[in-house]
Structure 1
Amino acid sequence: MIIVSGKLYVDPEVREGYLNGCLGVIRQARSSPGCLDFVLAADPIEPGRINVYERWESDAHLQRFRGAGQEPDQLAEIRVAQVEKYRISSVESP
């Protein structure tokens, strides 16, 4: 299992519009083969922060989805990106 997690920073005044522009990508990801979860969400404390969480069955599924890429306008709005990919070998309930 692959988890992609982290945070993006955009200017606070464009965050809502940025997230609205991502709705299609979120829908596309969630309907993609191998996607177990996908969300981009406004952080409740930091005005320009967007939290990223993705969960995929495999690298292959993630890479097939990534082939579509982001819109150039969306990339231009990102000021800082701190996102990491994690390989998970087991999962258990807390």
Structure 2
Amino acid sequence: MIIIAGHELVAAEERDAFVEAFRGMVTRARDFDGCLHIAITADSVDPERVNVTEVWRDVAALKKWRRQAKGPTVAKPTYADIKRYDASDGGSLF
């Protein structure tokens, strides 16, 4: 399992439009074989923060998606800290 998680910062007045620009791509990804979860969302506390979370079945599915994802054209974030993690196991939180 591949997990991509982190956040970006954009100008507060541009954040909601930035998140909205990804709606179509997120919708397509959720229907894509191998996508277990994806969300690009406005943070509930920081008006400049955009949270990014993706969970993919495996590297092959992620690579196949990336080759055809066609993300939106948006302003470059002022800061980004998004990392990829390889997970070998998972289970119920509680």
Superposition TM-score, scaled by structure 2 size? 0.91
Task: Determine helix, strand or coil for the equivalent of 2:37.
Answer: strand
Aligned length: 92
Moved >6 Å (runs of 4+) = none
Task: Determine helix, strand or coil for the equivalent of 2:18.
Answer: helix
1:19 aligns with 2:19: yes
* Structure showing the higher helix proportion among its residues: 1
Q: Please give the root-mean-square deviation of Cα atoms over the aligned residues, in Å.
A: 1.1
What percent identity do the matched residue pairs reach? 33
Contact 2:9 2:49 in 1 (8 A): yes
Partner deviation per Cα, 1:25-74 (whole Å, 9 max, x = no partner): 11011011100000011111111100111000011111111123433x32
Aligned to 1:57: 57
Structure 2 alignment gaps of length 5 or more? none
Contact 1:11 1:77 in 2 (8 A): no
Name the CA distance, whole Å, in 1 between partners of 2:71 and 2:79. Answer: 15
Name the CA distance, whole Å, in 1 between partners of 2:25 and 2:61. Answer: 15
Name the CA distance, whole Å, in 2 between partners of 1:77 and 1:48. Answer: 13
